[in-house]
Amino acid sequence: MTKVYVGMSGGVDSSLTAALLVEQGYDVTGVYMKNWTQDLPGMKCPWADDLADAKRVAVQLGIDFKVFDFENEYKHRVVDYMIDEYKNGRTPNPDIMCNQEVKFKLFLAASLEDGADMIATGHYARVKDGTLMQAVDANKDQTYFLYRVTGEALGKTLFPLGELTKPEVRIMAQERGLYTAAKKDSQGICFVGQVGIREFLNNYVQQKPGDIIDKSSGKLLGRHDGAIFYTLGQRHGLDVGGGLPYYVVGKNMDKNEVYVTTDLNDASLWKTEINLSNIHWINNAPANGKYQIRVRHRAKLVEAELSHEAGNVHLVLVNTERAITPGQSVVIYDNEICLGGGIVV
């Protein structure tokens, strides 16, 4: 019997994942990954509640349950990476790094070492012979977050929810009487629940007031608490008041200045060409040619011409895209297949 370790977060998706695998005849062990336990001002970290929920479901299913403690590694590989990126003026995606470094590296290795044959998670994605494919539910598809996982790791991974829609998952969890069937999906940063990124960063970086400047006129419009907190295309939180809304179109980390405009057509907000570095291909690098790309989670797939340039990737888009932000990921698809991607330069 194939032994599968299921990453159980205490949510409905991973709970149903475990239930389905039990029904399919696998020897299932539930594993809670203890990645983050730190409380933040005004926000209690929900890890203990999530662990208790995961345990309850494991008891319901009659499966073994373990806790893998990755907190130190998580801090170094995900949190420190995220903070460093923000300090350098970029906008990272910690969920992508968590999948690359923790779930499909540390968790996989620890599970195999502990006797598992495979791992499983509640991600909405499909895998076939180490190839990553989009989920049936286009609205919930999570391949954007999985593009930095290796084909080798995917070959040892099961995604039971890949063929299901979110409403179907809720119904199936209710039909099985799972404790987490009605539990709300978590929002916010992957490891701090409901806390926003600004509140989180405030615990690690000092506020550093600086100028908000109109890009076209050079006029001083107001002050900010630190350029680190602002990202391209941002509209809210500028507090410059009156008239048309302002949008962030750039920042200078050395001068600690944020540049804004009321012009929605400003060239800084729109791109027809994108350069990517830190390229990762799940299996083999694709040839130069036409593909589809996703510039952020839940963004529509758009057509682009891909070419390889000295280890990096250059993309020419058919249509302009808004707020392509340094540090964010662009993921490349060949129809249903997720090929990989890279980080916006």
Domain ranges of the chain: 3-197, 206-261, 267-344
Indicate if the pLDDT at residue 192 is higher than 70.
no
Nearest to 116 by CA among 126, 103, 105, 107: 107
**Per-residue pLDDT tens digits for 275-305:** 999 999 999 999 999 999 999 999 999 999 9
**Per-residue pLDDT tens digits for 201-210:** 988 999 999 9
Phi and psi, residue 71, nearest 5°: -60, -45
Residue 205, burial from CB neighbour count under 10 angstroms (0-12, 13-18, 19+): middle
SS3 for 238? coil
What pLDDT band is residue 42 in, cutting at 50, 70 and 90?
Answer: confident
Q: What is 3-197's CATH topology?
A: Rossmann fold (3.40.50)
SS3 for 82? helix
Same CATH topology for 3-197 and 267-344: the answer is: no
User: Among all residues, which ones are annotated catalytic?
Assistant: 98, 190
How many CA within 13 A on the CB side of residue 4?
Answer: 26
Alpha-carbon gap, residue 111 to 6, rounded angstroms: 9
For domain 206-261, the question of CATH label 3.40.1190.20 is answered with no
The strand order across the sheet containing 3-7 reads: 64-69, 27-34, 3-7, 118-120, 157-158
Q: What is the pTM of this model?
A: 0.94
CATH architecture of 267-344: Beta Barrel (2.40)
**Per-residue pLDDT tens digits for 92-108:** 999 999 999 999 999 99
Alpha-carbon gap, residue 232 to 263, rounded angstroms: 14
Question: What H or E segment, with its residue span, contains residue 145?
Answer: helix 143-146
- What is the arithmetic mean of pLDDT over 180-191? 80
